[in-house]
Amino acid sequence: MRTQVAVIGAGPAGLLLSYLLHLEGIDAVVLETRDREYVRQRVRAGVCEQPTVELLREIGLGARLDVEGLPHEGFSLRFDRADHRIALTELTGKSITVYGQQEIVKDLIDAHEARGLPVEFEVSGVELSGVDTEHPVVRYRDADGVAHTLECDVIAGCDGFHGVSRPSIPDSVLKTFTRDYPFAWLGVLARTPPSDEELIYAHHERGFALHSMRSPEITRLYLQVDPAEDLANWSDDRIWSELTTRLAVDGDFVLREGPILDKGITPMRSFVAEPMRHGRLFLAGDAAHIVPPTGAKGMNLAVADVRVLSRALKALLKGDPAPAESYSDTCLRRVWRAEHFSWFMTTMLHTDPDADGFARRLQLSQLRYTASSRAAATSLAENYVGLPFA
């Protein structure tokens, strides 16, 4: 078997890259270890930056997003039992759209199937070789266990933090930077209308809470918990009680409760691997970097990566190596900006169990300054809606 680009991973990064390459007339094969329905249904991020939305519209994948997506022109920082609105559109002229990552993945899978673009699910034993040559190879077994050798010009590693792509780069080449946080998120998906029209980021002495949504009927909510917390300790009643406490505000806000459809605990970390390229192997998305979800940057960074990568690969395959050589540096400038913003939002809003009184008062001071200063609010809003693509 032969293709121009072997794409490892059928998440938003891999599928979007494959589709962008297709639009440029470049052949690609996507390999994914999970089954098709799992990939279509797994719940992930839900905030799309304005540049992400504009790109999806530009390539003809914005129809369902425009019908079902929820545009937001602001969100609330909630502390001191009061809401402090960050007016995104007023401050920046831009907005964000709530549209689940799994919905984008569904749109991309449907687009691949409509055009007959190859996506192989349930593959196993994926191995990369020759990545430092001009003719790398991917070996794998298909869903029936049949062994395949896929020859290609380029490999795009879009297979996430635990995938095989990043470990295929020698330790002598790769530098990694990690920050682990002393808290995790307990996330729940509930069948109930959202309790507010916009997202609420709440700072509370018992821990952070987030009120979000996926549709007019489905609410997404999060609670800060200890990373070692056992999910079995959190009954539905306890979750609703804790959310009610942390989201409490002076006024008429009432948290709407409903059946919890899904819940899980996610640890929080910051991670960056440099460089994002070795030979003919290019990393994109979570394979190269992880951000804590507080800044809503993970999926949007993946989109930004593959936008740069698709253009770099087009040039490379036509004989111009310069964009490919600068791919890592170009992406990392945006990655580190997003890492800083995500760290800023995380440390400003979460309750650090090891922080002393001095640190907690500094944290509250930062919240009050951000909510009261137009300059500070504008900086937050500018980063939140998404900086322009490189």
| Residue 169 confidence (pLDDT) | 97
Task: Say if residue 289 is in the same domain as residue 247.
Answer: no
Compute the mean pLDDT over every residue in the chain, rounded to the nearest whole number. 96
| Residue 266 CB partners (closer than 8 Å, separation 6+) | 184, 185, 187, 293
Task: Say if residue 206 is in the same domain as residue 231.
Answer: yes
CA distance 361 to 349: 12
Q: Which of 201, 211, 289, 350 is catalytic?
A: 201
CA distance 167 to 107: 30
CB-neighbour burial class of residue 130 (10 A; exposed 0-12, middle 13-18, buried 19+): middle
Q: Render pLDDT for 137-151 as a digit per residue (tens, 0 to 9).
A: 999 999 999 999 999
Task: Say if residue 34 is in the same domain as residue 164.
Answer: yes
pLDDT of 390 above 90: no
Task: Say if residue 69 is in the same domain as residue 51.
Answer: yes
Interval 280-293 mean pLDDT: 97
Q: Which of 12, 19, 72, 278 is catalytic?
A: 72
Catalytic residue list contains 201: yes
pLDDT of 45 above 80: no
Q: The domain spanning residue 357 has which CATH number?
A: 3.30.9.10
Domain membership of residue 39 as a residue range? 5-73+95-177+269-345
| Residue 360 confidence (pLDDT) | 94
Catalytic residue list contains 263: no
pLDDT of 44 above 90: no
Catalytic residue list contains 19: no
Closest CA to 207 of 229, 192, 180: 229
- Could you give the number of structural domains in the chain? 2
| Residue 141 confidence (pLDDT) | 98
pLDDT of 318 above 80: yes
Task: Say if residue 171 is in the same domain as residue 189.
Answer: no
Q: Which of 12, 136, 292, 293 is catalytic?
A: 293
Question: By percentage, how much of the chain surpasses pLDDT 70?
Answer: 100
Task: Say if residue 358 is in the same domain as residue 328.
Answer: no
Q: The domain spanning residue 170 has which CATH number?
A: 3.50.50.60
CA distance 265 to 226: 9
Task: Say if residue 212 is in the same domain as residue 248.
Answer: yes
- pTM score, whole prediction: 0.95
Task: Say if residue 250 is in the same domain as residue 327.
Answer: no
60: in domain? yes
Interval 22-51 mean pLDDT: 93
Of the given ranges (37-51, 72-86, 212-226, 328-342), which has the lowest mean pLDDT? 37-51
| Residue 48 confidence (pLDDT) | 97
| Residue 139 confidence (pLDDT) | 98
CA distance 355 to 180: 15
Structure tokens at 147: 């062994």
| Residue 262 confidence (pLDDT) | 93
Band of pLDDT at residue 46, cut at 50, 70 and 90 = confident
Question: By percentage, how much of the chain surpasses pLDDT 90?
Answer: 97
Band of pLDDT at residue 42, cut at 50, 70 and 90 = confident
Catalytic residue list contains 384: yes
Task: Say if residue 155 is in the same domain as residue 203.
Answer: no
Task: Say if residue 200 is in the same domain as residue 295.
Answer: no
Q: Are 107 and 39 in contact (CB under 8 A)?
A: no
Q: What is the DSSP string of 228-284?
A: T--GGG--HHHHHHHHHHHT--SSS--PPP--EEEEEEEEEEEEEEE-SEETTEEE-
Rg over CA atoms, the chain: 21
Interval 305-323 mean pLDDT: 98
- For 140, half-sphere exposure in the C-beta direction (CA atoms, 13 angstrom radius) is 25
pLDDT of 107 above 80: yes
Task: Say if residue 320 is in the same domain as residue 361.
Answer: no
Q: Which of 211, 297, 314, 350 is catalytic?
A: 297
Identify each DSSP E strand in 275-388 by its residue range: 277-278, 281-283, 289-290
Q: Render pLDDT for 156-186 as a digit per residue (tens, 0 to 9).
A: 999 999 999 999 999 999 999 999 999 999 9
Catalytic residue list contains 99: no
Band of pLDDT at residue 41, cut at 50, 70 and 90 = confident
85: in domain? no
